[in-house]
Amino acid sequence: HHNNRVRIVEVGPRDGLQNEKKAIPLQTKLQLIERLAGTGLQDIEAGSFVAPKWVPQMADSDSILSHILATPPASTNRMRYSFLAPNMKGFENAASILDQASTDRSSEDAGDPLIEISVFAAATESFSQKNLNCDIATSLERFRPVVQGARAKGLRVRAYISVVLGCPFEGYDVDPKKVAEIATDLLEMGADEIALGDTTGMGTAPRTSELLRAMQAAGVRTEDIAMHFHDTYGQALVNTAVSLEHGIRTFDSSVGGLGGCPYSPGATGNVSTEDMVYFVESLGMDCGDVDLEALSDVGQWISREIGKENASSVGKALLGR
């Protein structure tokens, strides 16, 4: 049944790694992406075309995109890889790699990966300033040509809104109506999907519900919404359950629970993909054929590679069995 189908977007290679201080070798990143695709995950956020001065760890995203486009698929699934682009500079960098790859290839192949471009707004002015160095209105004007340019290339566009359930600078004082307004603007601009980011993990069940009611009241369709929960306070799966009850079927997660946002002090990683898959399947819902044991191995491997504790409860439980 269609309504039983949950789409999981693996954000580990981007959200999971962007905050690491020590440079991670390109080969490790490529191996991570390939191993994730090998577990059966179909949506992977693979990099970020942002200013290297701001987020040095993502500076090799051009090589990642080139590699993805030049390499035979790691999976029999039709893969979708997404990349962040906050402005035209980032989009043009991505677009030139895409143009080069289609010149190199003689013809389109049905197995070619789909590429997605993601813009990212914030629900509060202070977070917008910290993350994008401009106010919300200016950020939206900068996204417009990115969204149009991506669509003109036939690329799907995701639009994040950060700090929807709590802001490191403005606390819990985030207005759900404001979030819904920004979402409406982004959809009108041409975004295909809104990803609601609980950047700080401050979201609770009742506030998740309140936010999704505000989205519904503003006429945003549940099928156009993805939820992106960081698990700082351990509420991510509870908030996922609430979102499922509201009809949401797309969720972001990160293998090994990697990550955090450089502009959200103290925030930990996203809910782990191992926990997300286990949870979705425990409800009798279907998130595609993801090999949970293989995924747990990937979580353990990448945690070791970057010198971190494996932050996935399910991953650790399965590995210790």
Give the ranges where 105-235 is alpha helix by DSSP (H): 125-132, 136-152, 176-189, 205-217
Binding of ligand HMG by 47 (CB under 6 A): no
Per partner kind, with CB cut-offs from 5 to 8 A, the member of Mg ion, ligand HMG, none near residue 55 is ligand HMG
Rounded Cα–Cα distance for residues 114 and 302 (Å):
25
Q: Verify whether residue 261 is a known catalytic residue.
A: yes
Contact segment (CB under 6 A) with ligand HMG among 88-96, 165-173, 232-240, 241-249 equals 88-96
Contact between 199 and ligand HMG by CB under 6 A: the answer reads yes
Residue pair 179/161 in contact (Cβ under 8 Å)? The answer is yes
- Residue 162: name its binding partner from ligand HMG, Mg ion, none (Cβ under 5 to 8 Å by kind): ligand HMG
Residue 178 CB burial class (10 angstroms; 0-12, 13-18, ≥19): middle
Element (H, E) at 229: strand 225-229
Dist. CA 75–CA 58, nearest whole Å: 24
Decide: helix, strand or coil at residue 52.
Answer: coil
162 interacts with ligand HMG by CB under 6 A: yes
Which of 6, 8, 10, 15 contacts Mg ion by CB under 5 A?
15
Which residue is nearest to Mg ion, using beta carbons? 15
Q: Tokens 């090998």 label which residue?
A: 38
Residue number of the CB closest to ligand HMG reads: 197
Catalytic annotation, pick one of 134, 167, 261, 287: 261
Q: Which of 36, 42, 44, 48 binds ligand HMG (CB under 6 A)?
A: 48
Catalog residues that contact ligand HMG under the rule CB under 6 A.
15, 18, 48-55, 84, 86-87, 89-90, 93, 120, 131-133, 160, 162, 197, 199, 228, 230, 261-263
